Amino acid sequence: MPEQVRELTLHELSFVPEAGEVVVGRLDTGTYAVLPEDGAELLRRLYEGMSPAEAGRWYEAEFGEPVDVDDFVDGLRELGFVRDGSTPDAAPAARPVRFRRFGELLFSPPSIAVQLGIVGTWLWLAGQHRDLRPSPHQIFFTHSLLIVQITIMVAQIPLLFMHEGYHILGGQRLGLPSTLRISNRLTYIVFETQLNGALSVPRRKRYLPFLGGMFADCVQLAALGIVAQVTRGPDGGFSLAGRVCLAMAFTVVMRLAWQFQLYLRTDLYYVLATALNCYDLHDASKAVMKNRIWRLLRRPARMVDVQRWTERDRRVGSWYGIFLVLGVGTLVTITAYGSIPVIVQYFSTAFRHIGSGSFDAAFFDALLSIAMNAIQIGAVVYLSRRKRRGVRRPAPAERLT
């Protein structure tokens, strides 16, 4: 029997009751555990200063059965809840959250009303003018394929920053230490929001940070459409600025549609998982579906143990598979009505310019544009192969470990 622990000091923890269970976690590291109510009460006694022996006696008196406190404490150490020198002591949650006031202002009722007014104005304008509605052909706002390509790439950066910024400010409004990380994934700049503290607040308060990005996209779409409308020329046609706005508006629509690919961990997935009171619905539902397939194929050895997920995740995951299928259907729809028309128009224009027989500006423009795309695709293939080789061939230190 392991030696009885006499002293125990825990990190700052949050306790959030949810549907007969309690989500306990560290806000500073984003480590959480879902405990039954009796387990959470035992942890709370330890958190309040009881020794493990005293907490064990309290548990037996309260619930009428003994508990292996040593095993319980070992589990807490694995989660990093215990201050024993093996886990970081940093507690960013104790420090004031940056831009919290800005987040409160951005999502205050007057600000929300103004932003909804922008969206409503665009909806009214789009109802009056069909050419304001997003369409794949709007991507090509000029005859130069190279200018279109570079403009789309560069203009995406502030739009993506705003999308993730709304996630960040939605979390910081609640006092969560949200952060924005800019990284390079293959050949693309990627903005990633880290919102580890979301489970430290009640479920009803998590929707705003999760939906913040999609709300930002709606505001972007509306603002771009309004600018396109007010910058029309005297003849009613769109100005260059208006055509650029419509091109970017179409990319925003594609990003909004992408959120419905529920086989991925999209913003909308987190909203649904929260509404369904699940914690790892994505992996649980995939595991349930794979087990069904392996069972039908009579390959039980390939099945995974679903007990690692909560009972709620397993129960919802048993029927959530239909949403995974619908997510794939979303991908097919986006490809058919968004991506393919753009690709077809791009290559038809490029090959027409290259095959014209004239070595003019249009010829070199199309040639450089295709070369730029080829370099990007080549870089993606090269880096992905290099990454796979790195996984197959671990470093000597890793092999020794």
Residues 69 and 155 in one domain: no
Instruction: Mark whether 121 and 73 lie in a shared domain.
Output: no
The per-residue pLDDT for 2 is 45
- Judgement on whether residues 104 and 226 belong to the same structural domain of the protein: yes
Q: What is the DSSP letter of 5?
A: P
Nearest to 170 by CA among 223, 122, 112: 112
Measured CA to CA in angstroms, residue 245 lies from 173, 233, 238, 301 at distances of: 30, 15, 10, 54
Q: Both 82 and 220 in a single domain?
A: no
129 and 23 in a common domain:
no
Q: Are residues 115 and 242 in the same domain?
A: yes
Task: Please indicate, yes or no, if residue 186 is contained in any of the structural domains.
Answer: yes
Please give the structure tokens belonging to residue 20.
Answer: 């007969």
User: Are 167 and 207 found together in one domain?
Assistant: yes
Residues 106 and 76 in one domain: no
According to the model, what pLDDT value does residue 85 have? 57
Overall number of domains in the chain: 2
Question: Looking at the structure, do residues 107 and 249 belong to the same domain, yes or no?
Answer: yes
In a domain, 387, yes or no: no
Residues 253 and 109 in one domain: yes
**Mode of pairing for the β-strands spanning 31-36 and 14-18:** unpaired
Give the domain-ending residue among 226, 258, 290: 258
- Flag whether 372 is in a domain: no
- Residue 107: alpha-carbon gap to chain centroid: 20
Please give the pLDDT value at position 222.
97
- Quick check: is 110 in a domain? yes
**Boundary residue ending a domain (209, 229, 258):** 258
| Residues 66 and 186 placed together within one structural domain of the fold | no
Instruction: Name the strand (E) or helix (H) holding 193.
Output: strand 188-194
Q: Is residue 361 part of a domain?
A: no
Q: Are residues 81 and 61 in the same domain?
A: yes
- Give the residue ranges of the chain where pLDDT is below 70: 1-7, 85-97, 178-196, 387-401
Full domain range(s) for residue 58? 14-93
Kind and range of the H or E run holding 15: strand 14-18
Give, for 69, the enclosing helix (H) or strand (E): helix 69-79
Which residue, of 227, 243, 258, is where some domain finishes? 258
CA 9 – CA 150 distance, rounded (Å): 55
Q: Is residue 71 part of a domain?
A: yes
